[in-house]
Every structure is written in structure tokens, then in C-alpha cells.
Amino acid sequence: MTQTMDSGSSVAPSGTMGYELPWVEKYRPLNLDDVVGNKDTIDRLKVIQNDGNCPHLLISGLPGIGKTTSVLCLARALLGDAYKEGVLELNASDERGVDVVRNKIKTFAQKKVSLPAGRHKIVILDEADSMTPAAQQALRRTMEIYSNTTRFCFACNQSNKIIEPIQSRCAILRYGKVKDEQILKRLLEICEMEKVEYTDEGLAAIIFTTEGDMRQAINNLQSTWTGLGFVNPENVFKVCDQPHPFLIRALLTACQEGDVDLAMDKLDEIWAKGYAAVDIVTTLFRVVKTMDRIPEATKLEFIKEIGWTHMKILEGVATVVQLGGLIARLCKLSIDPKQFQV
Ligand SMILES: Nc1ncnc2c1ncn2[C@@H]1O[C@H](COP(=O)(O)OP(=O)(O)OP(=O)(O)O)[C@@H](O)[C@H]1O
Ligand SMILES: [Mg+2]
């Protein structure tokens, strides 16, 4: 364990710039009450925490939404002072092949540890989707044999990478994205504790760039504040290295008006700033959803084309020509959607 940070709800020391802990670590919640969002799932964990009898758990969800944090909070609450002795934490940076499962995990499971009454030792297997199927297979029987003394908690991004037999042994909890207003609330708390100067639009820009990933939101806040000293949209987009939505909006407006020359100029302007094609196309997608001036039917067509181009870009053709083709198709759609249908 390397955690030395403050609880989210307590006041953090005003950091001396330069040698500060990353805020994501400094403000990593230490108990379940401070974990934001996913209320239903966190409530289930709280029931387990109060009950004391932790089943095998499998937590899955997107990156940066509090999976590792909640498992650690739960283990800390269950074991208290015995945490050091009673928890074995393995993540993707540790060797976790079949041998480790056979030796390290088995030895830990057999070890005698004095724990609070009714509690179990906990093996935390973080980023479990990176374990090989063979290593997961090797866990099956171990989980059963030692289940009276040891419980397993898995955290992963993709639950389909966890073999079925392990899934069937676990209570499965799925975490969704953290809602925008919940991220905002957390950012405001951190701003207050760190005395960050911000505008409301600046925080909105951070939330726009992060799409429900709390870790990225906190990181972006810290980078903008330490790098540029003020959190407003311009600075946020400078730091986050994403095309400014205003530029993207102007591009889409030109497409909607069928003005291909203007649209290509806008594309060149964005491309000249050096953004990657994939960033441009994902921002296009995010911005088009929020543009009320585009009629619903056209919007759907736009999204279809953008999605198609995204696929092509991921296949490897990430050129400006590819994006130019997209712009051309979007303009075409706007001039007369029916005229060009084949
Ligand atoms: N729900 C949340 N409430 C409060 N802080 C959060 C939440 N989710 C993430 N954070 C912040 O983001 C950091 C990273 O979170 P965490 O390690 O739990 O992510 P994760 O879900 O395990 O992601 P990954 O899949 O990448 O491992 C935490 O240190 C914390 O500061
Ligand atoms: Mg994690």
C-alpha cells in the first residue's frame, strides 16, 4: 500500500507546488461514503461492509470510475488494523501467471492471520482482465477450497475477459460512468481545497473532455491549474490536447449549411494545430450530439457517417483525406439528403 492521501471529505494541506502528490491519489476516497456516483452498487458494497461477510466480488466498468478505490475502501473497512496482514493486493504490474496463483495466492490463503471476528482475508486481483485464462483456471478450485478463510475481489474493465467459472463464483457489480453533475461536485470540492481559480465554463470544459472518467477529470483540473494557473475553457483545451468544441461546432455548422469550402477551411485549421484524426472524429461525435440547430434526422445521418469514419480511422487510415471525405459526405447530406441516396 502506498496510499498516504487525505480522505476526500477532510481538508487537504495546501500543496507546495512542484512536489505535490497527483490529486487523483491525494483525493482518493478512503471510505465508501466518499466514493461518488454509482449509488446502487456502492450501497450494495456498504451492506457487505456492515454485514462483514464479504462474498467473492467481481467489479467491472470503464477506467477511472472508482473500482479499485471501492475495493480498497471495502477491504480497509472490513479489516481495519489487520489490513496489512489480511490483504494480498495483486495488479497487472505483478507477475500473475499460473505459478503465482499456485504459490503466492495459495500460501497467502493458507497463512494464519488474526482478524476481527467473522472477517476473512481478502485477495484483491486488480485489472483481472489481464490475467491469462490459464491463471484464472488455476484459481477456480483455490477459491473454493479456501473460501472459509479467504475471499477474492476482482476488478476489471471488461468482464468478458474473466472466464465463466470465475464469474459464476462471484457477486458481479457493474460500475457505470460517473454523472456529469457528480464529477462537477467533486471538482468543486477539490477546487475549494486546493484554492483553484476557475470559471464555471472552465469546469464545464473539463467535464466535456472527460466523459464520465473521474480520474481524467481530476487530472485535467490539476494539469490546467498547475500548468496555466487558471481554469477557463481556453486553458483546459490547451492542456487536454483536444480540438476546441467551438472550432468543431463551426465545422459542423458549415457542413450543415452545405458550404464545403468553409468546412474544408475549418478542417485545415484544426488539422494544422496537430490534432490526431481520432481525436477530431470523437470530438465531432460529441459535439454533434449537442447541436440543437441540426434537425434530428440529419443528426442521425451525421452520426452514422462520423461513426463510419471513426471505424476507418481505427483501421489505420488516419489521414486528412479521410476526414475530408467525411466532410464532403456531411455537406452532401445537408444539401439534399434524398438527391444522393442510391
Ligand atoms: N467514484 C469516484 N469518487 C471519487 N473519486 C474517484 C471516483 N472514481 C475515481 N476517482 C478518482 O480517480 C482515481 C482513480 O480511481 P480508481 O483507481 O478507483 O479507478 P478504476 O475504476 O480502478 O480505474 P481502472 O479501470 O483504470 O483501474 C482515484 O484515486 C480517485 O481520486
Ligand atoms: Mg483500477
All structural domains of the chain with their residue ranges: 38-174, 180-240, 245-340
Residue 337 is predicted with a pLDDT of: 52
Output the residue whose Cα is nearest ligand 1's atom 18: 66
Closest among 263, 279, 283, 282 to 325, alpha carbons compared: 263
Residues in contact with ligand 1 (CB, 6 Å cut-off): 24-25, 27-29, 35-37, 63-69, 155, 157, 178, 186, 214-215, 218
pLDDT tens readout for residues 211-225: 889 999 999 999 999
Dig out the grid coordinates for 105 from the structure.
495466492
Q: In this structure, are residues 155 and 128 in contact, taking their beta carbons and an 8 Å threshold?
A: yes
Report whether pLDDT(339) > 60. Answer: no
Which ligand minimizes its atom distance to the CA of 30? 1
pLDDT tens readout for residues 261-292: 999 999 999 999 999 999 999 999 999 998 98
CB contact set of 78 (below 8 Å; sequence gap of 6+): 49, 52, 54, 116, 119, 120, 122
Which ligand minimizes its atom distance to the CA of 67? 1
Q: Which atom of ligand 1 is nearest to the CA of 25?
A: 29
Expressed in angstroms and rounded, the spacing between residue 105 Cα and the centre of ligand 2 is 20
Expressed in angstroms and rounded, the spacing between residue 236 Cα and the centre of ligand 2 is 25
Expressed in angstroms and rounded, the spacing between residue 68 Cα and the centre of ligand 2 is 4
Expressed in angstroms and rounded, the spacing between residue 30 Cα and the centre of ligand 1 is 11
Residue 288 is predicted with a pLDDT of: 93
Fold of 245-340: Zinc Finger, Delta Prime; domain 3 (1.20.272)
The yes-or-no answer to whether 180-240 and 245-340 have a common fold is: no
Mean pLDDT of 85-112: 86
pLDDT tens readout for residues 121-158: 999 999 999 888 888 998 888 898 999 999 999 999 99
Instruction: Specify the CATH number of the domain 38-174.
Output: 3.40.50.300
HSE value, Cβ hemisphere, 13 Å, CA-based, for 341:
4
Output the residue whose Cα is nearest ligand 1's atom 27: 63
Residue 336 is predicted with a pLDDT of: 66
Dig out the grid coordinates for 46 from the structure.
456498504
Mode of pairing for the β-strands spanning 87-90 and 121-125: parallel
Lowest mean pLDDT among 111-115, 273-277, 314-318: 111-115
Beta strands in the chain (DSSP E): 57-61, 87-90, 121-125, 150-156, 171-175
Instruction: Specify the CATH number of the domain 180-240.
Output: 1.10.8.60
Mean pLDDT of 179-200: 94
